[in-house]
Amino acid sequence: MALKKAGFYRGPRLPFRKKEAEHKINQYITSPEVRLTGDNVETNIYPLETALALAKEQDLDLVEISPNASPPVCRIIDYSKFLYEQKKKQKEIKAKAKQTIIKDIRFGPNTDDHDFQFKLKHAISFLESGEKVRAFVHFKGRSIVYKDQGEILLLKFAQG
C-alpha cells in the first residue's frame, strides 16, 4: 500500500457525467415512423429512413421536436442554429422576467417628524417606480419600552 501525504488525499475520483442531449437527432431517433415538418417538406407521416434521406438531401438535421406525440414530431432544420435560437429565446424570457426589489425603510421608536416625512417621501417615490416597500421599527436596547410609539409611527406611515 502506498503512503499518502497528510492532508492531500481527496478520495476516489468520480467519473464525469455527460449531459444528456435535449433532442434526439438523425440516427439517434428510434421511432419507425415520424411526422415530418419543415420549410421545404410537406407535413406528413414518413418512415424514418425516408425522413433521414430527405434531411441528408438538404444537408440539414432531422431533429425530434415532440417525442411524446404519436408518431413523434420531427423537423428538418440546422440543429446548431436551432439550439442557438432556443438559447436566445430563453435569454430573452429571463430578461423580461421582472425581478421584484423590496426596499426597506427603518424607523426608530423616537423618529422625529422631519425624518419621518423624509422617509415617507422616499417610500412614495419607490412605490411610484414599481418597487415594493417594507417599513419596520427597530428597537435597540431598552427602547422596547416605546413599543406603542413604534406602532403609532407605522400606522401613521401606512396612512401617509
Give yes or no: residues 110 and 148 share one domain. yes
CATH of the domain at 36: 3.10.20.80
Q: What CATH number should be reported for the domain holding residue 155?
A: 3.30.110.10
- Residue 63 φ/ψ, nearest 5 degrees: -115, 130
Question: Are 98 and 131 a contacting pair, CB within 8 Å?
Answer: no
Could you tell me the three cell numbers for 101? 426589489
Q: CA–CA separation, 83 vs 76, rounded Å?
A: 13
Is residue 98 pLDDT above 80, yes or no?
no
Rounded CA-CA distance 129/160 in Å is 17
**Which residues fall within 8 angstroms of residue 70, CB to CB, at 6 or more apart?**
none
The better pLDDT of the pair 118, 42 is held by: 118
Percentage of residues in the chain with pLDDT exceeding 90? 17
User: Residue 28 carries which DSSP code?
Assistant: G
Do both 110 and 154 map to the same domain? yes
Q: What is the 3-state secondary structure (H, E, C) of 56-109?
A: HHCCCEEEEEECCCCCCEEEEECHHHHHHHHHHHHHHHHHHCCCCCEEEEEECC
pTM for this prediction: 0.49
| 90 assigned to some structural domain | no
Q: Which range, of 19-33, 36-50, 82-96, averages the lowest pLDDT?
A: 19-33
Longest dimension (CA), the chain: 84
C-alpha to C-alpha distance for 74 and 25, rounded to whole angstroms: 9
Residues 73 and 108 in one domain: no
pLDDT at 121: 94
Least confident of 38-47, 81-90, 123-132: 38-47
Q: Mind listing the pLDDT tens digit for each residue in 34-77?
A: 888 877 788 888 888 888 888 888 888 888 888 888 888 988 88
Does 106 lie in the same domain as 155?
yes
4 located within any domain: no
Q: Has residue 38 been placed in a domain?
A: yes
* Domain assignment of residue 56, given as a range: 26-80
Report yes or no: 34 and 72 within 8 Å, Cβ to Cβ: yes
**Is 72 within the bounds of a domain?**
yes
Cα dihedral 89, 90, 91, 92 sign: positive
- Domain-located, residue 146: yes
**Number of folded domains in the chain?**
2
